[in-house]
Amino acid sequence: MLCYAFASLVLSKAPSHVINPALQLVGPPESGKTTLATMVMSIFGGDPSSEIGIGRTWDMSPKAQEEVRRISCDAVLFLDEENVQDEKVRDNYLAIFVNSSTGGRARPGDSDRKIPLRSALLSTANVSSRQLQKRGHSEVSKAAATRLVSLVFTGPLLVDTPPGFSSTRDVARALSQHSATYYGSASRAFVEKVVDACTVDEQAFQKRISELMDRFDTKALKAKHGSDRIRTIFALMYAAGRLAKQWKIMPSACASVKDSVVALYRLAEESAEPSSKDLPLTIIRDVIAKYQDELSEVAPSQSRTPAIAPGKLGCIVRNGASVEYYLRPKRLRELLGAETCQKLKLLRQAGLLQAEAQRLTVKSPAVTGIKKRVFKIVLQV
């Protein structure tokens, strides 16, 4: 992942066909997406007072995003929590197209060509944008898919516990602490090397980047398939990683650049076609993650029923290894959007929606405080 950050620093020296990359880390809540992204961004800078370092949230308008992107030129723009982004940006894939473009938006009276704007986008999300393609125009969705790299994780991103740590949670905390303490040096050192190389012979340096990219595409990947644009993004990551190791900015003890980038590319390939069996879980997780503020948690043995405001989604009851969601039908249907009936059927077929024989709803337990029938969703912890 560090190779992605270094790649943004040589975008202006890469072949002209290389688009501004967009990479999306996808996984369930609290799986470590933000921790990883913040660590990657620490090569540029940090903010000890913020849990996302120098990152920002997706909660901004298209115009605001364009302005923020401009100040992230020749670097990575990290936007956290894609599930809270502006609906217009999300549904029309504007973020992907705007980022991949090297030009700025023309304003009234503008006649001169814009100076190419080179930057990379790094985002986190609970649900891959590819799984939301039905919301947008099909042709737009297909085009956007060739510009976006999604890395989908079904569980925690950290699965191994290195020596000296008792759990992956301790590892995540250590990464966060280091990202908030040591930051900003690697990018400066890398840029100094780029400037030195270009001062000696800029064309030779550009040729070196092209050669490394070609080597990755022809030797590391071997079989060519998938989007050319996305393969090119990983090829540039490989080239930047090789340079970072050559210049001793990344320790030699780090894993092989080729093996690491190839592994990410394979994960991107797997993520490109989400399994149909995972779709129901993704659908309901997306709703729950986005509308958590409409859910009230109650204990199974709670004697007093909670006061759940009208129009709110419902409540949560934790029951051992499972979590039960009792959701108001009208509100859930609103949030599921298009093809609601089909989505509810998928949830039932997957065993996530527990219903009665002839009905999709069940009687709500007294502990929930909801008097009418509800949708009962059960997820395993």
Q: Where are the domains of the chain?
A: 2-272, 276-380
pLDDT digits (tens, 9 = 90+) for 156-215: 888 888 888 888 889 989 989 989 888 999 999 999 999 999 999 999 999 999 999 999
Position 59 scores a pLDDT of 74
Position 92 scores a pLDDT of 43
- What is the average pLDDT value for the chain, to the nearest integer? 81
Position 137 scores a pLDDT of 45
* pTM exceeding the 0.85 threshold for the entire prediction: no
Position 187 scores a pLDDT of 94
pLDDT digits (tens, 9 = 90+) for 243-294: 999 999 998 877 899 999 998 988 887 776 545 556 678 788 888 888 888 9
What parts of the chain have a pLDDT lower than 50? 86, 88-89, 91-92, 134-138, 274
CATH tag, 2-272? 3.40.50
Give a three-class secondary structure readout of the chain. Answer: CHHHHHHHCCHHHCCCCCCCCEEEEECCCCCCHHHHHHHHHCCCCCCCCCCCCCCEECCCCHHHHHHHHHCCCCCEEEEECHHHCCHHHHHHCHHHHHHHCCCCCCCCCCCCCCCCCCCEEEEEECCCHHHHHHHCCHHHHHHHHCCEEEEECCCCCCCCCCCCCCCHHHHHHHHHHHHCCCCCHHHHHHHHHHHHHHHHHHHHHHHHHHHHHHHHHHHHCCCCCCCHHHHHHHHHHHHHHHHHHHCCCCCCCCCCHHHHHHHHHHHHHHHHCCCHHHHHHHHHHHHHHHCHHHEEEECCCCCCCCCCCCCCCEEEEEECCEEEEEECHHHHHHHHCCCHHHHHHHHHHCCCEECECCECCECCCHHHCCCCCEEEEEEEC
